[in-house]
Chains A and B, each alone.
Chain A
Amino acid sequence: MSSQETNDVLPRRKSDDEADLDITPMIDITFLLLAFFVMVSKMDPQLPVDLPQALNGDVIPEKNCVVLVVLKGAGDDEYSIYKGLTKAGADKIVGDDPVEQEEQIAQYVEETLSRNPTIQTILIKAEGEVTTGAVETVKRGVAGSELGLTRKLYVAVESTQ
């Protein structure tokens, strides 16, 4: 209201309120950043896969799947296959010969399924740019495993709806 009153009263109020207001949003933002980085850090080890787009599809939880990732390489025909979602060097399928790759995939699928017999699905996460032949190599590798043939085979897509 008046200048004297404001001079007398407001400085106290401001000092009190400012102290409270300075702390709480800072804590809020800190928690938000914390949550953000926790989320992001969990995602990090996963391979970024540029999935092909499709309108329809089933929702399959990745946790209950044997996952195989096919990424596009530098050239048109080049591709790399990974066992599982992570980019660890040991999980990469080595060799250029499709027959060798199929054997490794079949071995991986067979081992994983015999260790975890409750897994009912095999999920191929292949990038849209990858050639059909590369995906077919993975499929034949899965078919090379006896246990793999008894499970359902899914190809991951990105839902556009």
Chain B
Amino acid sequence: MTDKEKNENPEAGGPGDDSPSESGEFGLAAPTGKFGESNSSDRSGVGDPAANVSKTAAKTPGDFKQMNWKGFEEEEEDPDPSVSFGDDSETKRDDLDMTPMVDVVFLLLIFFMVTASFTLQKSIEQPPSKIEDPSTNVIEDPEDEDDYVEVIIDQTNTYYVTSRDAEEVEAPSDREMRDRMRDAKRTTGAPRLIINAHVESMHQKVVTVWDAGNAAGFDEIEMRTTDEDY
């Protein structure tokens, strides 16, 4: 540690010593260049004194002002090696350009995430129910007209899949109900699906059957409810 510090200290002294000398060079260099020009003009002006004098007279006041201003500015900035302040201000500007953009991007991200979560809700169209008692619905049998596939949901939320000529098959799971319904649809080609749900069955089950019916490609889905235990 101490060795490093010792090693660093002379280095630290180095640039610190260099910087004033650089400033001195800058301070000197600018005027010397101008003086050099004036000197050269004076030297060349030996041939045509009047014209050269007018030129130098015209040039000198403006040039001196510029020189003075430049010299002052450089002397103020130079003595510290903190010329890097200029660089710092540039980097600050870069940072300030980035942050609001990032902020706006994050805000937009959050906005779209929130709106996207709302579009998760979808809807299934259902025909309006006929105003009749659920018990009378079961008695009439309009199933003679067409081929149909029927799914019964009993009071314990169990599915039974039947088609026109087939026997009822119990489908214990959602997946099996979907498979059996698709098979029945493929074998019979029936255009109609009848959902016969017990009033105490869960709404989720009805929606699942309806959804499966839409996926299987039935043209018409009809729903009935019953309060008779199966």
Contacts and interface: CB of A to CB of B under 8 A. Distances in A.
Contact of B211 (A2, A55, A59, A132): A55
Interface stretch (A86-94, A110-118, A148-156): A148-156
A134 B126 contact: no
B123 A57 contact: yes
Interface stretch (B7-15, B35-43, B56-64, B66-74): B7-15
A154 B120 contact: no
B153 interface: yes
Per DSSP, chain B at the interface is helix
A60 to B, nearest CB: 4
B175 interface: no
A8 B19 CA distance: 14
Contact of A156 (B15, B122, B205): B122
B121 A51 contact: yes
B219 to A, nearest CB: 15
B200 interface: yes
Given A2-B12, A130-B202, A57 B124 contact: yes
Interface string B76-118: 0000111010001000100100010001001100110010000
Interface stretch (B22-30, B129-137, B183-191): B129-137
Contact of B110 (A9, A24, A36, A153): A36
A133 B133 CA distance: 11
Given A36-B110, A56-B214, A139-B129, A130 B12 contact: no
A81 interface: no
Contacts of A156: 121-123
Central interface residue in A56, A59, A76, A156, by most chain B CB within 10 Å:
A56
B152 interface: no
Central interface residue in A16, A54, A129, A139, by most chain B CB within 10 Å:
A54
Interface in B202-222: 202-208, 210-211, 214-215
A31 B106 CA distance: 11
A41 interface: no
A58 B211 CA distance: 11
Contact of B8 (A3, A54, A77, A153): A3
Contacts of A77: 200
Nearest to B88: A13
B33 interface: no
B122 A58 contact: yes
Interface of B: 5, 8-9, 11-13, 15-16, 80-82, 84, 88, 92, 95, 99, 103, 106-107, 110-111, 114, 119-131, 134, 153, 197-208, 210-211, 214-215, 225, 227
26 contacts: A2-B8, A4-B9, A5-B16, A8-B80, A9-B81, A31-B103, A53-B204, A54-B210, A56-B124, A57-B124, A58-B125, A123-B123, A128-B207, A131-B200, A132-B200, A133-B134, A133-B199, A136-B225, A143-B130, A148-B128, A153-B127, A154-B126, A155-B123, A157-B121, A158-B121, A159-B121
Given A3-B5, A128-B207, A132-B201, 9 more contacts: A3-B8, A12-B82, A57-B211, A131-B202, A132-B197, A134-B203, A140-B129, A157-B211, A158-B120
